[in-house]
Amino acid sequence: MTATITSPEKSGESDKRANPATDIFERRESQVRSYCRSWPVVFDRARGAEQVTEDGTTYLDFFSGAGALNYGHNHPVIKGALLDYLAEDNVVHALDMYTPAKRAFLTAFEEKILQPRGMDHKIQLPGPTGTNSVETALKIARKATGRPYIVSFTNAFHGMTLGSLAVTGNSMKREGAGAPLYHSQTAPYDDYFDGATPDFHWLESVWADSGSGVDLPAAVIVETVQGEGGLRAARNEWLRDLSALCRRFEVLLIIDDVQAGCGRTGAFFSFEEAGIEPDIICLSKSLSGMGLPLSVTLLRPELDLWEPAEHNGTFRGFNPAFVTATAALNEFWADDAFENTVRERCAQLTSGLLAIIDEREDASYRGRGLLAGIVFDDLERAEKVAAEAFRRGLLIETSGPSSEVVKVMPPLTVTEEELNHGLTILAEAVRAA
């Protein structure tokens, strides 16, 4: 039997003259590529909130590497630390061996992040991506409790490997697994039923009822703001009630702070305002400070139950990323000056978005802090807004199962002027779409 595979690359494009600047990507790179389809230019240089193409066009970047560039592109202090490190022939690859770079990172993370918040979590260094951190969290939760199930929430996004996909909502991404996604249960996220049922009505009922047929899970995994799934933000009281419910039933609470963490909502951790103490925390994206791959999984000490090498990986703890992460922690998190400035930018973005929404009947606000956006009644409008923004020199992406939310994610280091400029472009793009 011969399978017929039609390639979107070939249909209708055959008579188009290839653009030499992009031909190799379109011809040779897998069609799985996506962001470059919305922004089919070749980015060459970048600094702060700006990216410049190889033919010299400057874009204001309110995409921030999907959350990996909270301190902007090529921050001079962070980049300087990296250049110095490489210039001295310091160790680049070390698996989990001891290096001065790892010592400095663990010390900075302990002193700048954990101790001031009264946290005694152990720091596990899994593979370098967000999904590596999530897989680690799920695995240790199962090992610690002996229970196989994990509860996640509607519209959650936790990554693309099988364990993380099993706790991810998006049906297109789930189908991409091509295999059954096991041992996960989905519960309604905050306000999923528009307040029609009391919060946690279902979870509380089935966990308390030994006849419910629903096994008690190892853990609940949750994002405080759903970065990919549509920018819904959980209320602090919802997070507190979830945390209390987990404690009551001895279910572990995992906060996936891969996108909302590292200052995105103001505080270093997105759950700080809710005053909760998660058992396990996943961090990645902006942890390295300049887009190098690095992730950690933070574990309450009694959960650090691994045998040596029981969870492994070649790229655990990439030393250049330790160096940049340490520079970022020392530069931005030694006191609360940076956090206070970020909070001003958060307020500025919120009021700017509300002003755009005020002009129309068909739009509303989603998100929290500098992870916020606009949802439109017409599910197709957000994509059009992002395209209009790109034509005007602004990079913004969309979020949600139907890409129905315009997602505005400037670097935390964005200036007041840059943020105003971006909001002006966004307002024009919304009117034009």
Ligand X SMILES: *Cc1c(COP(=O)(O)O)cnc(C)c1O
Beta carbon of residue 201, minimum distance to ligand X (angstroms, whole number)? 25
Report yes or no: 64 and 410 within 8 Å, Cβ to Cβ: yes
Cα 290 to Cα 95, 147, 275, 293, 400, distances in angstroms: 21, 38, 29, 9, 26
The least distance separating ligand X from the CB of residue 89, rounded to whole angstroms, comes to 29
Cβ 407 to ligand X shortest distance, Å: 11
Q: Can you tell me the distance from the alpha carbon of 331 to that of 47, in angstroms, rounded to the nearest whole number? A: 17
Q: Find the part of the chain contacting ligand X (CB under 6 A) among 7-15, 44-52, 253-261, 383-391.
A: 253-261
Q: Is 158 in the site for ligand X (CB under 6 A)?
A: yes
- CA proximity to 407, closest of 227, 154, 192, 158: 227
Q: Which residue blocks in 88-161 are alpha helix, DSSP H? A: 100-108, 130-145
Could you say which of 62, 105, 153, 157 contacts ligand X (CB under 6 A)? 157
397 counts as binding ligand X under rule CB under 6 A: no
* Separation of alpha carbons 169 and 190, rounded Å: 14
* CB nearer ligand X, residue 281 or residue 419: 281
The correct pick among 70, 99, 124, 131 for binding ligand X (CB under 6 A) is 131
> Nearest CA to 260 among 60, 49, 66, 35?
66
Least Å distance, CB 397 to ligand X, is 12
Pairing of strands 58-61, 219-222: unpaired
* CB-nearer residue toward ligand X: 223 or 388: 223
Q: Is 294 helix (H, G, I), strand (E, B) or coil?
A: coil
Least distance in angstroms from the C-beta of 158 to ligand X: 5
Tokens of 25: 């990507």
SS3 317: coil
Contact status: 287 vs ligand X (CB under 6 A): no
Among 61, 228, 241, 404, binds ligand X (CB under 6 A): 228
Q: How far is the CB of 315 from ligand X (least distance, A)?
A: 12
Q: Which of 284, 286, 288, 326 binds ligand X (CB under 6 A)?
A: 284
> 399: which 2 tokens?
């979020």
Which residue number is nearest to ligand X in terms of Cβ?
130
Q: Which residues are at the interface with ligand X (CB under 6 A)?
A: 129-131, 134, 157-159, 223, 227-228, 256, 258-259, 284
